[in-house]
A = this chain, B = another copy of it.
């Protein structure tokens, strides 16, 4: 393989995760080691938007301290975007910018859509005879990318949620008198990966532990069965913890929150949330039962203070592997995590074609859902428990974790200005 010499560009896209910047740190740290191949290390601000507008920053100029802090900084340090590439008009511009800055290595840290963008860019550059190595880095708390055993970001999110559930259960245990129902709404529009993750709060061999009921988008909500299940829990337990995915649907596939008309301050109807809906179901069914609702919202994808060390390390490894693979001549692929068939959990990083990633969605295995549709089988714990191990080494700043803030030294523009068409 001939050495390809040029500059590296890295970008981030989509909903951030607690460890998306650990992948960035992996890219940076590794890129610095290949002086023969990689000259400058640039970051595109706000994903492909930053490429189109030629908004680059000089990442090699960032301090080592900042790079280390990236491992425990949530949000996308480079800025994220949800821009969808328009094939005809955007591709030529991207190539123009790549050529102007001699970008020969491109790493997009993101989910399905970002990997699809990576593929389009790789294909277009190849068709135009511009040599570039494109290796994607997986990222999503949703855990829905195919081929990879799991996605960086997922482990940290479910570690935080499961911890919150266990902690909340202690509170409920001390106040409940077989009359307290807590409802926690978690993310997950179409798949139950995150809601299922809450089940890791249960101690091994303790089915009576919270969460008592887990409602997944895969299982249409059955009001009667739910009420009966809550009743059963409250017969033997002081309290009942319900974890519900935001994407919970009825038998017709309608979101449950949408069944609830919320009138805002001006009398306009708006959509309520799943936890408010379930609260109303519980209160209707049980006299004298108290309900509590929690909706951590976007906080559940930012809680880097209690991220999984395993997840941080794997996210870093995914970034590092992307650079190494690109330098070694690979392109048009994404890093995947492969679980080795060993007694002890061990992950190795491999590659899969971008096209196979971009069009797939990993669904939650139906046979991991309990018979009543509201509990999670032991197979899931076996799969997910290794992903939440270890806690991060934080840097303290007056009692709060210190966050990496990039210096963002701009790279001089070389092309004509370009306006984003949205």
Residue numbers of A with Cβ under 8 A of B are 12, 15-16, 18, 46, 73-80, 82, 159, 162-164, 166-175, 182, 184, 200-201, 203-204, 259-266, 268, 270, 272, 276-277, 279-281, 283-284, 292-299, 301-306, 308, 385, 388-391, 394, 396-401, 403
Partner of A284, one of B200, B265, B301: B265
Partner of A400, one of B162, B262, B298: B162
B166 touches A403 (CB 8 A): yes
Establish whether residues A163 and B277, one from each chain, have CB atoms under 8 Å apart when the complex forms: no
Using A167-B74, A170-B302 as known contacts, say yes or no to A200 and B270 having CB atoms under 8 A apart: no
In whole angstroms, how far apart are the Cα atoms of A201 and B167 in the complex? 23
- The CA-CA distance from A305 to B284 in the complex, in Å, is 35
Please name 30 pairs of A and B residues whose Cβ atoms are closer than 8 Å in the assembled complex, sorted by A.
A16-B170, A16-B171, A46-B174, A75-B167, A75-B170, A79-B174, A82-B175, A162-B399, A166-B400, A168-B299, A171-B302, A200-B398, A260-B262, A260-B263, A260-B264, A262-B272, A262-B276, A263-B263, A264-B276, A264-B283, A265-B281, A270-B280, A292-B297, A293-B295, A296-B296, A305-B306, A308-B399, A388-B398, A388-B400, A391-B396
- Contacting pair B204 A305 (CB below 8 A): no
Q: Across the interface, which residues of B come within 8 angstroms of A80, CB to CB? A: 174-175
Specify the chain B residue showing the minimal Cβ separation from A402.
B203
Residues of B contacting A263 in the complex (Cβ-Cβ under 8 angstroms): 260-263
Closest to A185 in B: B295
Please give the distance in Å from A229's CB to the nearest CB on chain B: 17
Q: Which residues of B contact A308 (CB under 8 A)?
A: 399
User: Taking A16-B171, A265-B280 as contacts, is the C-beta distance between A298 and B294 under 8 angstroms?
Assistant: yes
Q: Which residue of B lies closest to A173 (CB)?
A: B75
From B73, B295, B394, A294 is in contact (CB under 8 Å) with B295
Alpha-carbon gap, A184 to B8, bound state (A): 39
CA distance A292 to B114 in the complex (A): 23
Q: Which residues in B have their C-beta under 8 angstroms from that of A294?
A: 295-299
Q: Which of B171, B277, B303, B388 contacts A167 (CB 8 A)?
A: B303
Pairwise interchain contact A163-B281, C-beta atoms closer than 8 A: no
Say yes or no: A399-B75 contact (C-beta < 8 A), given A297-B293, A302-B171.
Answer: no
